[in-house]
Chains A and B, each alone.
Chain A
């Protein structure tokens, strides 16, 4: 890791404002992510979490504010080429419908490296097989997305993002369309990535998971960051009454419903 680790964040959002017509969705967001960190964003539905992630990779343009990803001022990008250069460095995994249903798993993993990065097909395929092994799906390379379970699809989507060798990956509620059983296997994949030092931003409703793997947690509501801090501080001694109310609701329910997600994680607690 470079020596300026602590001073220059990999992602820096400053005073981000975004409205859809008259709906003000982001109303002044500040957020920093250091290289190698895992940062979780939690908050009620409709608070602008997905919108925030879309801004980082240039899928949406804020009306005001600054977005920096490394040296790139995302808010100033204009041409398609500049956005493509940014997106080569930023992986994105959505909640659902990530994969191209007309392509096999292997093709899903190789199409962007071949067509966007211009890699050799063979090389891309070898890399894809390695990544499929990493997400424990090596036996599924010829399957089509429609033939996989939701959890398997999400792991393929993660592998596909990794195939671009990004500097960071944004995860947008990647487990919220899954049943509790398959949530675990996806979270395990993400945990391994974080342990390897990949910079990750996660929007999640898995409070236990966020608490366990994050370096920092942001709580957002109505388009503003209500509170942020270390997971220990935010989950155990939230400063804002709003955070407290939200956590009481979310954790109270989660605690009763969920078994320990992953054995290793449960032991650490």
Chain B
């Protein structure tokens, strides 16, 4: 029995690594594990069960992510099943520290708390420019190239950049 448990732990670890390496289709600099979209991978009766959670209600990438995770597990030799879990709901605080660093290095400002207040009409939140670090930035559009991003411009270095909205 001890050997079985060991075997299963190793398998589970291998399955997690395979699934966790899948890049996000819209923000390929980070993986689904970095973003906290991949909740868990467990081995149940020889099947690798991956729990995946959607980010935004209308995120068109949800299905693509599920299919990529499924394919990655299959390529690693697993029989697999994907479960979509809604609770607890994903928030940007599920993004790992590693994920935030990768976003920043890629030129996307990681989410900042308190930037999503309903009362903040005309959005007066300080978002830091990922290029030069200035906090003198302005929001060009609340809605960017994907549902998870807003478009900002740095008033100092003048570069436009994506901001990963706090959610």
Chains A and B belong together in one complex: no
User: Contact residues of B with A, CB < 8 Å?
Assistant: none
